[in-house]
Structure formats: structure tokens, C-alpha cells
């Protein structure tokens, strides 16, 4: 849930900003403006029209594209985007069958292969420009928080006591809440670039933008199709673009102006805490701001500190081909834990590169992520292997139609390291199509297949079980529609 937001922006209004040297003015738009092009450089179009409230006003350090979505000197554009999804999901595979043995009693449970799923999100924000050329504003992403629904059971440990499941759909619905996923302020100028501070996307997420990782449609393996699949049966989506463990971290991000199609971005985060969870009254267990833990009593050895990301991007055209390329590096320290016998970790040391070429509606390309990291934006354990993930994808856009497919392979430490614990391998494929029925209304159908393997690890229930759930395969088909504004 990724991607850029300039196309399809719904402008609520423009409010003049007072300035000591000028007279306040007020302008009003009478209708939602026509969508603007993503870029005048001809690079591949972003997979979708939103990334948590991001747009070219607050994400691009170069001069703004003229139009009703962009503020003029002495004005503020207020916007409120949103989307509502509804789809049917059909799933199957070994991950839908779970066998457990508790107190010598073995039981097997199966999941219903079909579900109806839906949700909504809101993206309020403002983009403004002072009369001296200062650009500033704020972005916010508000999400629906889901509470697990179902019928509680502790039979043979199939569901642990205290699991958050309600026997009433009405009670489950009323327990659902709203929460803030992204929140940031920004300021800058056409000549100096943009500085953003808050719970926000870093360069890896912003500059990929779902393009080189082919997060088309509902988002591929970082989207809605996996919502129909048990979480412990899913292959890990390894790329940092649009991943909450990357963008929900409080950080400062700088975006440079663009020169000859090139721009750069750099971010810094003191730790991996969000806006409201970074500070602690005292050094204690669970404190995200810990920098050392010599006794091992406070936890946190698997958390980064002084986390930096840097990435360069090129967008342009050559001989009729659109080109979108990125390359970057991320590094960090980690909480120092010297307690004897405790698991030790190493800081991030990660490289990322991606390239997409487009011509006549076709796009082809991919992304490679490699280095010292594990699982999904997690530190790698010392003694474990470095990770590498690669993805290839194709897409075709023809008027209201889009077709897309991708495949990735991810090799990483996974659980462990330890005696009998091997390396984990994930493979995942994605194919789909969508059709724009009317402005803001899309229909889509998508299929996902994934498989995971790690010797000596029970991938469904945890623990070290040789020959039990060491291989898991899963598939999901979804068909649905969304309205976005």
C-alpha cells in the first residue's frame, strides 16, 4: 500500500495564506480537477495512484507541476483522498490444514477456503506555498484496525487461551478502531529540495514506489491477496518498499531537486520506534530507544539504532524507452547486548537496486535486495547467512486495462541459527488484471502462489520439527472492486 498519489487527487479547496508582505487571498475550486500526468519525463507510470498521502508536492524536490493540485504562492490546497475495497478471496494449500499435538492429543483443523474481505483508508493532508517560495505541508494516513472474528476454542491447543476472537460479528465490528499509519510534516523549496520529518517512508520505499517491485493492482504479495492466506503460511515479502516496518519508523528524510533526471534521498532514524513509541521513562524491557543492554534483562538486541538509508534515482527517456532506475544502501547499528548465552545480532548493511524499462504500454524489469538483514526488515542474527532477494516482473497498460505478473525468490536465515536449523527459501508468483470501469472505480482479479522451505523448522506452528511442516505451499485467488477518490 504503496505508490504515488498525484493522479486522481480530490481537492476540497484552496485557502489563502497570510503573509506580512502581501494581502491574503482566497480561491475556491468548483469541481474535482482532471487527473494530472505523473511526470513529463516519460518514465514508467506508477502502479497505482496513492502511497499513504504522498504526492509530487511533498515527495519531489523539484519545481511543481502546474495544476489545481499544486499550491500557488500564498495558498494552501487541502485534500482528502480515500479508498474502499471489497473482494472475495479463495485459498488453498497445505497452509490451510493445521495439525497440533497438545498433551499427547493430536488434532487437525482446516480453514474455510472462501472469505469476503474489505476495508477503507483515508488520506487527509495539505500542500502549501508561502509568497517567498517556501513549500510546506503535512500528510496523514488513517486506517481501519481489524479485530479477529471467529468462535473461540481451546480444544487441543488449536487456539490458545486469550486469543482475540469474538463470537459476535456485531461485537467484532464495534471493536474495530481507527489508527494513524503515517504522519509527517514537510518543508523546502524548488532550489533546496524537501525535508520531511515524522512517521514516514524512507528512500527505499519512496523511490521504488512499487515500480521496480511491481506492486501493481492490489499490491501483489504486499497487498490484499495475502489477507486471504494464514499469516504463518505466507512466503515473506522481502522488499522494503511499502513495508510498515520501514515506513512506520520516525525519521527525517531529505529529497533533493532533480538534475537531468537524477535525484537523491537520504534518511536518518535514531531507532525503529514510531512517533509515539520511541521514548521511555527509564531503560526497561520493550523500550525501543535502548542503545545498550549488557545484562540481557531488557531485551531489544534485535533492534536497529542510528538507521540510515540513501538512494539515487533516474527517471527519463531514451530512444522512445521510458527508464526508471534506483540504487541505494541502508546501514545501522544495533542495541549492544553482551549478556553471556544471549543471541547476538548485527546492524543492517543492505543494498537495493531496481530497473524498469517501458515502451508502448509494456514495462519489464525487477529489483534485487541483498546484505545483512533477515525476514521482513529485521536484523540478521550473528552466525547466520546474509540474505538475497530478487524479483522480475512485466506489465501492460492499454487504456482502461492493466495486466501484470511478477515472481520473486528470497533466500535468508529465517529461524535460527542453531543446530539443525537451515536456511529458509521462499518463492512467490503473482499474476492479475484490472479494468477501470469509471473514474475512481476499478475491478480486478488476481492469483498468488507461494511456497516456503526451511529444514528443521515447523513453519506453521513454530519450533524445531524435522519433517513436520518444513515445506508449506499456499495459493490465493481474489476478485473484487475498489472505489478511490
Query: What are the cell numbers at 131?
Result: 509568497
Q: What pLDDT tens digit does each residue of the chain (485 aa) get?
A: 443 333 333 333 333 333 333 333 333 333 333 232 333 333 344 444 445 677 777 777 777 766 667 888 999 988 888 889 899 989 888 778 777 767 777 777 788 888 898 888 899 989 999 999 999 999 999 998 865 544 444 443 444 444 445 566 776 677 778 889 999 999 999 889 999 999 989 999 999 989 999 998 888 999 888 888 887 888 999 999 999 999 999 999 999 998 998 999 999 999 888 887 656 767 777 777 778 877 766 777 788 999 999 999 999 888 888 899 999 999 999 988 877 777 889 999 999 999 999 998 899 999 999 999 999 999 999 888 999 999 999 999 888 899 999 999 999 998 877 655 678 999 999 999 999 998 888 899 999 999 988 887 877 777 666 667 788 889 999 999 988 88
Q: Which CATH class is domain 11-484?
A: mainly beta
First to last CA, the chain: 15
Across 375-414, the runs of DSSP E, i.e. the strands, are: 380-381, 387-398, 401-412
CA dihedral 40, 41, 46, 48 (to 10 degrees): 0
Q: How many CB atoms lie within 10 A of CB 51?
A: 28
Q: How far apart are CA 54 and CA 280, in angstroms?
A: 30
Give pLDDT, residue 418. Answer: 64
**CB-count exposure of residue 104 (10 Å: 0-12, 13-18, 19+):** exposed
Distances (CA, A) of 40 to 23, 63, 315, 329: 33, 12, 10, 28
Residue 217 in contact with residue 3, Cβ under 8 Å? no
Question: Do 371 and 378 contact (CB within 8 A), yes or no?
Answer: no
Predicted confidence at residue 308, as pLDDT, reads 98
**Radius of gyration of the chain measured on its C-alpha atoms:** 23
Q: Which burial class, exposed, middle or buried, applies to 195 when counting CB atoms under 10 A from its CB (0-12, 13-18, 19+)?
A: middle
Whole-model pTM: value is: 0.83
CA 77/CA 68 separation, integer angstroms: 8
Report the pLDDT value the prediction gives residue 416, as an integer from 0 to 100.
Answer: 74
Phi-psi label, residue 319: left if phi above 0, alpha if psi -120 to 50, beta otherwise: left
Q: How far apart are CA 458 and CA 420, in angstroms?
A: 12
What pLDDT is stored for residue 156 in this prediction? 39
Would you give the DSSP letter of residue 277? S
If phi > 0 it is left, if psi is from -120 to 50 it is alpha, else beta; for residue 420 that is left
Amino acid at each position: 500500500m504503496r505508490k504515488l498519489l498525484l493522479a486522481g487527487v480530490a481537492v476540497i479547496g484552496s485557502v489563502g495564506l497570510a503573509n506580512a508582505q502581501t494581502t491574503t487571498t482566497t480561491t475556491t475550486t468548483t469541481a474535482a480537477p482532471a487527473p494530472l500526468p505523473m511526470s513529463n519525463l516519460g518514465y514508467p507510470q506508477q502502479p497505482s495512484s496513492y502511497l499513504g498521502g504522498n504526492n509530487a508536492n511533498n515527495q519531489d524536490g523539484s519545481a511543481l507541476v502546474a495544476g489545481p493540485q499544486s499550491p500557488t504562492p500564498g495558498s494552501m490546497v487541502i485534500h482528502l483522498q480515500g479508498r474502499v475495497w471489497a473482494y472475495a478471496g479463495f485459498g488453498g494449500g497445505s497452509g490451510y490444514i493445521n495439525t497440533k499435538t497438545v498433551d499427547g492429543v493430536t488434532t487437525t483443523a482446516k480453514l474455510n477456503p472462501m472469505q469476503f474481505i474489505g476495508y477503507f483508508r483515508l488520506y487527509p493532508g495539505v500542500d502549501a506555498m508561502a509568497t517567498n517560495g517556501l513549500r510546506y505541508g503535512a500528510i496523514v494516513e488513517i486506517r481501519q484496525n481489524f479485530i479477529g472474528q471467529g468462535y473461540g476454542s481451546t480444544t487441543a491447543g488449536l487456539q490458545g487461551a486469550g486469543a482475540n476472537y469474538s463470537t459476535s460479528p456485531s461485537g467484532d465490528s464495534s471493536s474495530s478502531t481507527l489508527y494513524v499509519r503515517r504522519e509527517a510534516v514537510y518543508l523546502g523549496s524548488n532550489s533546496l529540495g524537501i525535508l520531511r520529518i515524522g512517521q514516514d517512508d524512507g528512500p527505499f520505499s519512496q523511490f521504488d514506489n512499487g515500480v521496480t517491485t511491481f506492486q501493481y493492482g492490489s499490491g501483489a504479495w504486499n497487498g490484499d491477496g495475502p489477507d486471504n492466506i494464514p499469516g504463518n503460511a505466507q512466503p515473506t515479502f522481502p522488499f522494503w518498499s511499502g513495508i510498515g516496518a520501514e515506513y512506520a519508523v520516525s525519521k527525517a528524510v531529505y529529497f533533493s531537486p532533480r538534475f537531468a533526471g537524477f535525484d537523491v534521498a537520504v534518511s536518518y532514524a535514531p531507532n525503529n520506534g514510531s512517533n509515539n513509541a520511541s521514548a521511555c521513562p527509564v531503560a526497561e524491557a520493550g523500550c525501543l530507544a535502548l542503545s545498550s543492554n549488557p545484562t540481557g534483562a531488557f531485551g531489544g538486541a534485535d533492534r536497529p539504532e542510528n538507521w540510515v538509508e540513501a538512494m539515487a534515482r533516474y527517471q527519463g527517456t531514451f530512444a522512445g524507452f521510458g527508464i526508471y532506475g534506483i540504487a541505494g544502501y541502508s546501514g545501522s547499528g544495533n542495541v549492544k547486548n553482551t549478556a553471556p548465552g544471549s543471541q547476538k545480532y548485527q546492524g543492517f548493511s543492505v543494498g537495493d537496486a531496481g530497473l524498469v524499462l517501458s515502451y508502448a504500454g509494456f514495462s519489464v524489469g525487477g529489483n534485487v535486495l541483498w546484505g545483512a538483514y533477515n525476514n521482513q526488515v529485521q536484523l540478521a542474527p550473528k552466525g547466520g547467512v546474509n540474505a538475497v532477494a530478487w524479483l522480475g516482473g512485466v506489465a501492460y497498460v492499454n487504456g482502461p486495462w492493466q495486466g501484470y505478473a511478477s515472481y520473486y525468490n528470497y533466500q535468508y536465515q529465517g529461524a535460527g541459527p542453531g543446530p539443525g536449523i537451515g536456511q529458509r527459501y521462499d518463492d512467490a508468483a503473482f499474476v492479475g488484471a484490472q479494468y477501470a470501469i469509471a473514474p475512481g472505480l476499478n475491478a480486478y482479479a488476481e492469483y498468488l502462489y507461494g511456497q516456503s522451505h526451511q529444514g528443521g523448522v515447523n513453519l506453521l506452528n513454530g519450533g524445531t520439527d524435522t519433517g513436520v511442516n518444513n515445506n508449506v505451499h499456499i495459493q490465493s485467488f481474489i476478485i473484487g472492486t475498489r472505489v478511490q477518490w
